[in-house]
Structure 1
Amino acid sequence: MIKEKIVKYFQQYPQLKILFFFDEKKEYEEELDKMELPNIYIVKYENNPFSIKWKLVDEFKDKKVFLYLPLPHPLTQEAYHKFPLLGLLIANKELQLDNVGSFMEEFGLQRHQKSLISKYIQELKYTGVQDVCRPILNASNFQVPAIQKGLLSAFLKFKTIESWPFLMAKLITLSPPEQEKELNRVVKKIKDLDMEELVCEKLKAVSGTTLNELSQENLKNVVRSIVYNKIMQTIDEVKTNDPYAKFKIKDLTQITQLNQMLHEVDRGPIKNDFNAVLDELSKEIKGSKLIEVYGESAPFAEYNTEMIWEVIKELQDQISSAPKVVAQKLEQISLQQQINPHVMQAMRFLIQVTKTHEAIQKNTTYILNKPEEYIQAYTELGYKVDQAYRKAIRLFKEIDTLEIPKNIHLEKINVDLNKAYDKHTDQLNREWLKCLNHFQFDYKNIQVPKQYDFYQTQVAHLDQKVVVIISDALRYEAAVELLSEMHGDTKNTAEIQYQLASIPSKTNIGMSQLLPGEKIFNSGEITIDGISSSGTENRSKILRLVNKESRAIQYSDLDGLSREELREIFKDTVVYVYHDIIDATGDKKPSERGAFRAVEETIQELKKFVKLLHGSYNVAKVIVTSDHGFLYNDIEIKEKDKEEIPVKENIQSHNRYFITEEKQNLDLAYSIPLSATTVFTDNVFVNIPYSVNRYKKQGVGHQFVHGGGSLQELIVPVIESARKREKVSKKVRPMLLNRNRLKIVSNILKVNLLQETEVSRFEKECTLKLGLYIGNKLVSKLETLLLNFTAEAPSDRMTRTELVLAAEAAGEPFLKLKIFDEEDMLNPLIEERIQNDTLIQQDF
């Protein structure tokens, strides 16, 4: 066996000259006397250090030598330094016949480290463990704390040596019953190496829990303590009726280490597993009890799932009466970084419900003097009711009701929302139509842009390429959201206007009004300059009568075309693109309940399309408009609530209008000359309900409707989008919330920021860099935040991050929070003096 090892050494190390071998008990002397090694000289040390040294450096200087020393190994430092051939030993290698020796030889460890190696060799001998521990497998780093941390990292199946807090977090993920086998494996290894006491101390450091051994139940107590202290660390005085008071961590150092662990986990690969363990055991730390003991307004560090449900339970009856108060509380909680997805979905729904109620309540009166005042009020503020309602209903449909506690009455909240919205739209439009009737529905006397003037005012005068996107049923509130999304493009300079659509607000009339030429209604078979206005081929002909370089095309027909084919299409001076998702979904009874989903799809699709037109096809101007808007009520309208069409003989009818040859004298409807709201001169009359009522009509839906005269149906958007060659230079700015009240607690600063204004035509996104400083020295990680919120509501433009103070700065009483635009790291946008409350608490 020894012969093979000697040969292997020289093969493994081709430059090796002398291979030393210490054999104190002379176990191998007889074997070596008989051994022959090809091309290797066997030299025996016979207490002749000087002569043998001369031979080795002179006679055998070009030979490979196996030097046999029947001597004890120089284990102590003193013996090592007295060894007469020390220089040659250091310059060469020593034959090791045991694992410890081989390990020392392989990693260049020193003799005084042999006992340490012997202690841990049972694990260090494995290649996988060596791969993890490689950074410490050298003479300078091979020390007990590093070895223990490296071994536990390997046991827990990490690829590199991790920090103690992170290792404790991983160990905690093994506490569930399904992880029992894996936990037992790890615990056995820990115990075999006599590391159990150490690991228990490390667990105590991050949880405050004293452990006498590693077990599933003890780990669960660690988790219970973590759950409790995540919530309660900002409350100093524990009340006697707090049933979980035994978990309270009073040592500030332990709270700091707990927060550091949570911070590391939040950015690491075990985040989901760790949070799942905490979520499971958080059911035992009853949030409702903590709120009962300390009060809902107590300064909890965070709210667990049950606490959030408890807050919602207390607030749910105030949603319609005090929506702003409810919204503020929910938004404050929602700034937390970790909230159960089911809870978050419910909160988002409730916030939109409060916004709907708040927007409705801002209507101090429904009675205004002129149509222009109604239109101005709607386009400045009123549309927000429809927008918030749409978002609330969309969110409600996505909620998994099985995950909602029985004492949270989302169904009732949704019913109340629909009732409030129905009442609002009815009152608003009843008064609006009364006002229009007072002015005889004569659009010529209403001083606002009209849909029938669109081509002349928006297209005819342009001396550059323009693409007009007509999105069927894109109502004004949805277009405002689209505009916000478009502002996310740093080169986009879009703005929104409006125009008054014709009555009846139906597709073929709205589409015809947007085209140039002389129009004839012809009982609904509309012609323009003698050409049918139906179909893109006919519309192309109509456009070319005015401008030869024009065409009309369906958006769906663009799909699948090559880049060159698309480029050819958009070479024309005027291109009308007809886009139809909302109306195609909502105007069919089986799919009408998906109308709001179709709105969201439209917004995303048009945002991308506009950017593509500017960026890839060199279109200087893009105009987005619509043929009409729509009304939508999410609660099914019962048959008894639908009106009968009072005139059986009519030219055309639907669920919001009917057309007759003669003017009607009706109790619940207005009879309007078609010529009053259109450019048609045909002598026919449009009849629409007094408000938002629906007519009975077989085979059609009644929740999604258009054709009448409501503001939601008639106020349609006109978005003009241009693209600059350079990015818009002005950026949105951050505002620090709770300024002058910020403190570092347990080495962590929680930073809440508000983006002052939404991303817009003139203000674009900004990337921030945040950090804690002593003078100009950074003493935390430099965090990055992107401010690119497009929402109008300030509550939708808030964001949060955490800064962890480095250990070396823990003793500083005051620091600076600096927030920079990443493009200017010399001049901070915000510089705030921050009190280190960690230090102050430690002083007491």
Structure 2
Amino acid sequence: MSKIKQSIESLLQKHRILLWYDAEKAFTEEYEALELSDTKKLTVNGNEFETKVRVLHQEPKQKFLLYLPKEKPKNEENWLLDIELAHHVYHTDQEALYLQEVGLGYHYKKWISEHIDFFKNKERVAAFKEIAQEEDGDHQLSLKLIQVVFGADILSFDLFLRNFASAFIQGQEESVKRELERFNLSDLFWQEVSKKYGYAHDQPTIYDFLLEAFQKNFSPLSSHSVVNRETGVMLSTWKDTLSFQEDFKTISRQIQNDLKIEETLNHTSIEEIVDDDLFELIDQRIISELIRGILDESVDQQRLETVIKKRESKYWYDRYVHFYRALRIGFNLLETIREAGDINIPSFEEGIEAYASTWYQIDQDYRVFIEHYRETNQNSVLNPLYSEVNKAYSNNWLLKLSDSWQNVLDEQDGWVNHQRSQSKFFRHNVKPFLQKKTRLFVIISDALRYECGVSFQQLMQKENRFESDIEYQIAPVPSYTQLGMASLLPHKTLSFGNGDSILVDGKSTMGLSARSKILQANTDVDATAVLAEDLMKMASKSDEARDLVKKHDLIYVYHNRIDKLGDDKSSEEKVIDGARDEIEFLIDLIKKVTNMGGYNMIVTADHGFIYQNDPIEESDFADADVEGDVVKANRRFVLGRNLSYKDNVMAFDCNELGIEGDLQVLIPKSINRLRVHGAGSRFVHGGATLQELITPVIKVKKKREDTIKQVDVDVLNKRNNKISTNIQRVSFYQLQPVEEQTLSRTLKIQFKSEDGESLSDLFTYTFDSDAENSKEREVMHQFQLSSKASDKYKNQEVYLVLEEQVEGSNKWREYNKYPYEIRITFTNDFDDF
């Protein structure tokens, strides 16, 4: 189809009559060849009156193409003027064809001639036709040409500049510049940028503009920039645009090099930059300074928490989150150890209670600190803090605590048969459920020491419709898997079998089948044992899962991740990651059980462990000179007969430990390891330290009603809702403190128009204060309003919109919104100078 036929058919969809003047008769052949399905063609040359009668009176509904092979007459001599004015004149010059193609009137001929090259591409023309309106006017139409050049969905210079910045990063800046110049749009584009952002340059470029914008919004260099505060709103929007994240980071890193930001930061205090987030180096500078402050004790907890809290809502925080968490936990650990001072444990009972209520937190902090340290790829900037933490934990805490605890053990007459002994687990914890005919799942996680259990329980408290509580129990000695697992089964007696294996009432406890038989034989209910991996593979509503739950009242579930990693010398350093993964796995396992119809669960462990991240010092190894009939020997215990040894070990007859048999048990004192060829030394268990002995008992119940809620957030002084300047301060109030089952809430907040257009910078904040004092749960943010607010929306109602993220997605939904009225005066159009 020819362009002429296409444009005529397009116009005939809007107009009943088209008049086509062709003074030079250049298009006679095209006219004669035209085939129009529902339109009649008439040649008009001296028969104007006859034509007029026909098209207006005889066939008033018929479409006509009137071909006039002559000059268009003056109005006063034009017999068809009324038809022209009521219908449409078809033009065949290039400008007219383009105008007709996009649906614009011929009076735009001068305008389109200035941008004629733009219309020589079908894709551009099609995109422009979608957005162009007859009533737009020259200026607005030119802006829409720019919109097409930048491939933008809306007419927004924020978006144009963002796309231009992406083109710059991708090496396509020159292509965009050529198009703007070729289509005669370059001057207009930069004039509009100047009008909105105050940017002016004899030879403007996108990178020069970006340099100015970043400089303006970096506090130490702000006064050196010529652009205005509107760029702050623009950059805030860019940082929140997911599709622009990688380009923004690339731009930021290039600019921080070109502006020598590192040099500037070397002479800048944290207070000056704590609210800035354009450059990655800002976080690096803050982290370095905080580390120095922690080590020389010049930073206190309040300052540390204040700085980290401010950084949480900043752009680069996610990249440095593990650094900040390592700082926070490292500081807490060092402070706690300092405050603990010399450790004195008066008695066995008091030592157990103190550890289960307070002291476990230091072991927990150490594990989590190492976890975050590793997540930073053991970044060298953290090495001084890591060294200090590791030294304080190993020498000032673990060794001192264990030595003090050893003094208590040395004064005992044999081993203590404590009321919370693990051998009483079944009687005290499992039997009450069975007596009430309540189905129970017992989940046993190998080497889930007490502090790991606390971490698990704390996370379970944040899961909706779950209720949980934690107690402790004391593992038997030696604190190793075979004895611990056997102790957790229903039994009357425990005894040694071959080697280090343990028998329950004379029966083997090795393997899943043996344990299932003991459960079935020693309880009055249908009981079985399964591996956690097998249970997780079952479809929740499958026959297999239904049968497991329906046919059994007691189900023991076994999982071995932590101990499996730790007991292998080649993987013992992975125990930290393994503990984290195990805690997450247990949460998934609990949910799986409830989906299968189990609503009561107990999570426990066979024993704990000692872990030190650095290689063990020579002084931590004990030369016990053990001789005799050795049955089993590892780093933390020896089993045998007729043994001789030094006094740096504790010695027990197995009967003293509540185990039948004739074996002797040797345990090195404090945290000492025995010299055993090929065995690991950083992860150990089998001894009698508090970390090895105390294990968690966590009872979890699935509830029908909600058990958690998030804190509520409100805006203070809502009635004072007149915006009179481009800077609007808003105070937010967290109504409740964060508690065990009252969780934090993260909100993304900005001013928006009724139709959702952004009118300010973006403020993202996690409301997670646990302060009882309500005043301490207030936070203020200073919003920068865009020029749109004082221009397009002046004297109109806009909204402060609070949004929260839809769980598991990148979508945000409205949490609340508050109306404000824009009353900004002209004086606020002036920027700082």
Question: Shared fold (TM-score greater than 0.5)?
Answer: yes
Label 1:584 to 1:37 Cα distance change in 2 as closer, same or farther (>3 A): closer
How far apart, CA to CA, are the structure 2 residues paired with 1:84 and 1:265?
A: 64
Q: Is the 8 A contact 2:275 2:310 kept in 1?
A: no
Q: Is the 8 A contact 2:455 2:583 kept in 1?
A: yes
Unaligned runs of 5+ in 1: 236-243
1:419 alignment partner in structure 2: 391
How far apart, CA to CA, are the structure 1 residues paired with 2:55 and 2:208?
A: 66
1:460 alignment partner in structure 2: 431
Structure 2 residue 365 is matched with structure 1 residue 388: yes
2:693 alignment partner in structure 1: 714
Query: For 1:43-62, what aligned pairs fall within 5 Å after superposition?
Result: 43-46=42-45, 50-61=49-60
Structure 2 residue 503 is matched with structure 1 residue 519: no
Query: Normalising by the residue count of structure 1, what TM-score does the alignment of the two structures yield?
Result: 0.82
2:253 alignment partner in structure 1: 279
Label 1:680 to 1:351 Cα distance change in 2 as closer, same or farther (>3 A): same
1:303-345 CA-partner distances (Å, limit 9, x unpaired):
5333433334434333245364474365145324222766554
2:450 alignment partner in structure 1: 476
2:293 alignment partner in structure 1: 318
Label 1:154 to 1:542 Cα distance change in 2 as closer, same or farther (>3 A): same
How many percent of aligned residue pairs carry the same amino acid? 22
Per the TM alignment, residue 694 of structure 1 is displaced from its structure 2 partner at its CA by 0.9
How far apart, CA to CA, are the structure 2 residues paired with 1:288 and 1:5?
A: 63
Partner SS state of residue 528, structure 2: strand
2:147 alignment partner in structure 1: 153
1:577 alignment partner in structure 2: 557
How far apart, CA to CA, are the structure 1 residues paired with 2:403 and 2:820?
A: 53
Unaligned runs of 5+ in 2: 807-812
Query: For 1:429-468, what aligned pairs fall within 5 Å after superposition?
Result: 429-440=402-413, 442-444=415-417, 446=418, 449-462=420-433, 463-468=437-442
How far apart, CA to CA, are the structure 1 residues paired with 2:87 and 2:263?
A: 71
1:602 alignment partner in structure 2: 582
Q: Is the 8 A contact 1:231 1:300 kept in 2?
A: no
Label 1:47 to 1:590 Cα distance change in 2 as closer, same or farther (>3 A): same
How far apart, CA to CA, are the structure 2 residues paired with 1:29 and 1:816?
A: 59
C-alpha RMSD of matched pairs (Å) = 4.8
Label 1:754 to 1:470 Cα distance change in 2 as closer, same or farther (>3 A): farther
Structure 2 residue 116 is matched with structure 1 residue 121: yes
1:24-77 CA-partner distances (Å, limit 9, x unpaired):
x34349769988979875534457655432121234457654312356569xxx
* Alignment match of 1:210 (pick from 192, 200, 211): 200
2:513 alignment partner in structure 1: 537
Aligned length: 801
Query: For 1:297-316, what aligned pairs fall within 5 Å after superposition?
Result: 297-298=271-272, 301-303=275-277, 304-316=279-291
Partner SS state of residue 590, structure 1: coil
Label 1:85 to 1:34 Cα distance change in 2 as closer, same or farther (>3 A): closer
554-563 or 11-20, which moves further after superposition? 11-20
How far apart, CA to CA, are the structure 1 residues paired with 2:589 and 2:561?
A: 14
How far apart, CA to CA, are the structure 2 residues paired with 1:136 and 1:34?
A: 34
1:83-130 CA-partner distances (Å, limit 9, x unpaired):
764664577555443443233333432232232223223213433223
Q: Is the 8 A contact 2:625 2:644 kept in 1?
A: no
Letter in 2 for 1:577: V
How far apart, CA to CA, are the structure 2 residues paired with 1:129 and 1:7?
A: 17
165-174 or 469-478, which moves further after superposition? 165-174
How far apart, CA to CA, are the structure 2 residues paired with 1:766 and 1:15?
A: 55
Per the TM alignment, residue 136 of structure 1 is displaced from its structure 2 partner at its CA by 2.9
Letter in 1 for 2:357: E
Q: Is the 8 A contact 1:302 1:336 kept in 2?
A: no
1:339 alignment partner in structure 2: 316
How far apart, CA to CA, are the structure 2 residues paired with 1:584 and 1:230?
A: 52
1:183 alignment partner in structure 2: 173
1:652 alignment partner in structure 2: 632
Partner SS state of residue 369, structure 1: coil
Per the TM alignment, residue 468 of structure 1 is displaced from its structure 2 partner at its CA by 0.7
Per the TM alignment, residue 416 of structure 1 is displaced from its structure 2 partner at its CA by 2.3
Structure 2 residue 704 is matched with structure 1 residue 725: yes
How far apart, CA to CA, are the structure 1 residues paired with 2:506 and 2:724?
A: 76
How far apart, CA to CA, are the structure 1 residues paired with 2:553 and 2:253?
A: 60
How far apart, CA to CA, are the structure 2 residues paired with 1:438 and 1:200?
A: 85
Structure 2 residue 569 is matched with structure 1 residue 589: yes
Q: Is the 8 A contact 2:799 2:817 kept in 1?
A: no
Partner SS state of residue 570, structure 1: helix
2:480 alignment partner in structure 1: 506
Label 1:771 to 1:29 Cα distance change in 2 as closer, same or farther (>3 A): closer
Per the TM alignment, residue 269 of structure 1 is displaced from its structure 2 partner at its CA by 1.9
Structure 2 residue 524 is matched with structure 1 residue 547: yes
Query: For 1:254-269, what aligned pairs fall within 5 Å after superposition?
Result: 254-269=228-243
2:469 alignment partner in structure 1: 495
1:583-615 CA-partner distances (Å, limit 9, x unpaired):
11111111111111111211111111101111x
552-561 or 322-331, which moves further after superposition? 322-331
Partner SS state of residue 496, structure 1: strand
Label 1:321 to 1:521 Cα distance change in 2 as closer, same or farther (>3 A): farther
1:708-730 CA-partner distances (Å, limit 9, x unpaired):
11121111111111111222264
How far apart, CA to CA, are the structure 2 residues paired with 1:644 and 1:783?
A: 64
1:199-255 CA-partner distances (Å, limit 9, x unpaired):
33444467654321244xxx43333323322221xx7xxxxxxxx577335x7xx21
